[in-house]
């Protein structure tokens, strides 16, 4: 017997429960063949992924390859913004012009975000098991599985994908850690229709493109990761090319 779809009230409960666990945002999307996932193949064909071979995993464009019976995706977000503009007082007070100094990205100032997200996501799954009587499958991912979190977050009503290729939210900007839960529960999506998803509010603004120090944003909504500082300092296994130092 096919299980009935969970009501919108249950989706609201999931979102509210996620917030009690420390997530600022939580939404639900139906597992579908999102058009953005198809565009990823063209991006990969251009070589923009660089050495990130894991992005070629075909499961990234097909949720059912990860969970055959998946029906819904729960997407949660935590804000990692901080009022301090730079990472260390040392970087700000360097007394010599020839002193090498750098900035530590804000996402690395606290505990390992993978562990933080995992704990909260698994906590949410546990509370769902207590609430729902029927057995169900759930698989949590915190930037560790073959899941395109930004695209799923977009369809779960957490924001829109900006010209800088990041998920943007009007209240939180782009300062978000994203975690997902794939499940075979048939949950009512947070947004009833694609037409009701958050609009793209970038408008005619191109500030992110104009300010990118390595010109990694080769077109609006398109990043060449091989030129991105984040890629060069985290993903690239060899030396950073001279032109980006």
Active site amino acids:
143
Which residues, in sequence order, are CB contacts of 160 under 8 Å at separation 6+? 154, 167, 168, 197, 198, 199, 200, 201, 202
What b-and-e string marks burial along 55-86, b requiring 16 or more CB atoms within 10 Å of the CB? beeeebbebeebbeebbbbbbbbbbbeeeeee
Instruction: Tell me the Ramachandran region of residue 143: left when phi exceeds 0, alpha when psi lies from -120 to 50, beta otherwise.
Output: left
- The CA distance from 209 to 19, in Å, is 33
Measuring CA to CA, which residue among 238, 243, 245, 242 is closest to residue 50?
A: 238
For residue 122 the two structure tokens come to 């698994």
For residue 95 the two structure tokens come to 């007394």
Neighbours of 162 (CB within 10 A): 19
- The CA distance from 119 to 76, in Å, is 12
């Amino acid at each position: 017997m096919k299980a009935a779809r969970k009501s919108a009230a249950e989706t609201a409960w999931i979102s509210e429960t996620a917030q009690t666990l420390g997530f600022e945002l939580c939404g639900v999307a139906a597992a579908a063949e999102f058009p953005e996932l198809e565009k990823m193949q063209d991006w990969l064909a251009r070589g923009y992924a660089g050495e990130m071979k894991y992005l070629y995993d075909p499961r990234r464009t097909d949720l059912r390859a990860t969970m055959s019976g998946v029906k819904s995706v729960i997407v949660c977000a935590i804000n990692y913004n901080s009022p301090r503009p730079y990472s260390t007082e040392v970087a700000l007070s360097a007394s010599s012009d020839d002193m090498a100094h750098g900035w530590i990205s804000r996402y690395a100032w606290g505990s390992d975000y993978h562990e933080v997200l995992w704990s909260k996501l698994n906590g949410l799954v546990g509370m769902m098991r207590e609430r729902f009587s029927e057995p169900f499958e759930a698989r949590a991912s915190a930037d560790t599985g073959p899941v395109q979190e930004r695209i799923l977050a977009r369809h779960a009503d957490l924001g829109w994908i900006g010209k800088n290729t990041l998920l943007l939210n009007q209240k939180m900007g782009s300062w978000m850690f994203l975690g997902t839960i794939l499940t075979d529960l048939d949950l009512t999506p947070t947004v009833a229709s694609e037409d009701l998803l958050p609009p793209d509010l970038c408008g005619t603004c191109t500030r992110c493109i104009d300010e990118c120090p390595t010109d990694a944003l080769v077109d609006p909504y398109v990043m060449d990761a091989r030129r991105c500082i984040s890629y060069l300092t985290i993903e690239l296994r060899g030396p950073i090319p001279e032109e980006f130092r």
